Amino acid sequence: MTTLAQRHDGPGTATVPGPRRRLTGLVVALATLLILLVLSVMIGSTAIAPSVVWDALSNPSADIDQFAIRDYRLPRTVVGLVVGAALGVAGALIQALTRNPLADPGIFGVQAGASFAVTVAVGLLGVRGIGGYMWFAFAGALIVTLMVLALGSTRQGQSPVVMVLAGVCVSAVLGGAGSALELTNPDAFDAMRSWNAGSIVGRPLDLVWPILPFLVVALVLALAVSGSLNAMALGDDLAAAQGVRLTRTRVLAIIALTLLAGGATAIAGPIGFVGLMVPHVARWIAGPHQSWIFAYSVLLAPILLLASDILGRVLMRPSEIPVGVVTAFVGAPVLVALVRRKNASAL
């Protein structure tokens, strides 16, 4: 039975689950996500009867409680789904690209770029409201990642190690410049305090739709390079011998992860641990196949994000805890437990 469910995938890989276990796991993850989507609409800081929730979705009226469902809980559930999926796949991409299990989407300066752009928008340009500075965040993430890509390019092509170093350096510089601006501008400081917490509250769907096409394109790109990333996990030489075009794969992967992490950060602010933790769990369940890891990450990351958000709504009623705080609080110990497992997921 064991041999049916598990098999070895060659050098450098541990015993990996078979297709049946992967598929079963995927179905379970999908079912869990569906349950959390329902719970996210049902549970909030205000107690609203299930019948009102049902009516709000099936028989809309001007009832004041129905607005709470349609205008706040439903959009925030969709935002949680979209942002979670984007962060999960971005995390899987960056870990595959750098062959570093500690890499997260912020390592190429995506979040630093987004945060710095928001600081400039608020502190120097007087932009107010999430709808105003969302596009600055997205542009900041894209520009900074392109900068890191350029700095990380050598004559031999893109080196993941050099790019990571460039990302860390650019992030440090932008972090310092952003802090200087925040400390001398109380308005920017206030805006960044809220932004840095990472939250999916108060993001209407109008803000999500314009970003969504970028995320869809990025997901397609990620799937397109998944086969090449599998080969690159064995080393550049072996991958090149198999016909993988290393530079093209890396550039496409970086574009995809920038769009995913930049889009998610633009909508919700920096949310930690999702992109770091979820790919580990995905690899633990699915083994080292990137397409499976991406599929799992698309489902598991929104599960983590929505579960954390629901917790954040009820832990401090009537107030709420931003989801970015909960993911860090929950994610850190879970990640420690995962990496201390005997069969911790390897790249």
> What is the identity of the amino acid at 272?
G
Q: Does 324 bind other proteins (CB under 8 A)?
A: no
Interface segment toward other proteins; rule CB under 8 A; list 42-50, 143-151, 258-266, 287-295: 42-50
Q: How far is the CB of 267 from other proteins (least distance, A)?
A: 11
Q: Does 39 bind other proteins (CB under 8 A)?
A: no
Q: Which is nearer to other proteins, 81 or 166 (CB)?
A: 81
DSSP output for 216-285: HHHHHHHHHHHHHHHHHTT-HHHHHHTT--HHHHHHHHHHHHHHHHHHHHHHH----SHHHHHHHHHHHH
Cα first-last separation, the chain: 26
Binding residues for other proteins, how many (CB under 8 A)?
Answer: 34
Q: Does 60 bind other proteins (CB under 8 A)?
A: no
Q: Cis (ω within 30 of 0) for the bond into 318? A: yes
**Rounded to an integer, what distance in angstroms lies between the CA atom of residue 67 and that of residue 33?**
24
Q: Which is nearer to other proteins, 92 or 114 (CB)?
A: 114
- Site residues (CB under 8 A) for other proteins, limited to 119-138: 128-130
Q: Which is nearer to other proteins, 204 or 227 (CB)?
A: 204
Q: Which is nearer to other proteins, 82 or 244 (CB)?
A: 82
**Rounded to an integer, what distance in angstroms lies between the CA atom of residue 295 and that of residue 274?**
15
The H or E element that residue 118 is part of is helix 110-123
- Which residues sit opposite 157 in a β-bridge? 154
**Rounded to an integer, what distance in angstroms lies between the CA atom of residue 284 and that of residue 63?**
46
Q: Does 65 bind other proteins (CB under 8 A)?
A: yes
Q: How far is the CB of 2 from other proteins (least distance, A)?
A: 49
Residues near other proteins (CB under 8 A): 44-46, 62-65, 67-68, 71-73, 128-130, 183-187, 190-191, 193-194, 197, 199, 201-203, 313, 318-320, 322
